[in-house]
Amino acid sequence: EQLMAETLRRLAVRVARHVGSNLSRNWQLLPVEIEIDGQSLSDATLLRIRASDTPGFLYELTHALSLAGLSILRMTIRTVGTQVQDELHVVDQRGRKITDAEQWRQLRAMIVLIQHFTHLLPQAKNPESALVQFRELLESLLQRPQWPEDLQRLEDSEVLRTLTQLLGVSEFLWQDFLKLQHENLFPVVTNLESLQSPLPVAQLAEQLRTELAAAPPAEQKQLLQKFRDREMLRVDLRHVLGLQDRFGMFSRELCTVAEVLTAVTCELCLQELQASYGLPAAPDDQPIRWSCCALGKFGGEELGFASDLELMFLYEAEGRTTGPKRLPASEFYQRFVELFQSLLGTKQGRTFAIDLRLRPYGRAGSLAVSLSGFQKYFSTDGAAWPYERQALVKLRPVAGDLQLGQQICQLRDSILYAGLPFDISAMLAMREKQRHQLTQPEVFNAKFSSGGLVDCEYLVQALQITYGHLDPSLRQ
Q: Which of 25-29, 335-339, 362-366 has the lowest mean pLDDT?
A: 25-29
Out of 74-88, 145-159, 311-325, give the one with best mean pLDDT: 311-325
More confident residue, 178 or 452: 452
Instruction: List, for residues 240-283, the tens digit of each pLDDT value.
Output: 777 888 889 999 999 999 999 999 999 999 999 999 999 999 99
Report the C-alpha gap between 301 and 280 in whole angstroms: 31
Long-range contacts of 272-275 (CB under 8 A, 24+ apart): 272/217, 272/339, 273/332, 273/335, 273/336, 273/339, 274/323, 275/323
Closest C-alpha to 129, from 4, 230, 19: 19
Q: Which of 127-131, 171-175, 435-439 has the lowest mean pLDDT?
A: 171-175
Instruction: List, for residues 353-364, the tens digit of each pLDDT value.
Output: 999 999 999 999
pLDDT given at position 23: 45
Averaged pLDDT, 217-244: 86
- Taking a C-beta distance cutoff of 8 angstroms, is the pair 133, 167 a contact? yes
Report the C-alpha gap between 240 and 431 in whole angstroms: 33
Averaged pLDDT, 451-466: 95
Q: What global pTM score does this model have?
A: 0.77
In degrees, to the nearest 5, what angle opens at C-alpha 223 toward C-alphas 219 and 229?
150
* CA 225, 231, 236, 237 torsion-angle sign: positive
Residue 78 confidence (pLDDT) above 60: yes
Instruction: List, for residues 370-398, the tens digit of each pLDDT value.
Output: 999 999 999 999 999 999 999 999 999 99
Instruction: List, for residues 290-301, the tens digit of each pLDDT value.
Output: 999 999 999 999
Please give the DSSP secondary-structure letter assigned to residue 168.
T
More confident residue, 92 or 242: 92
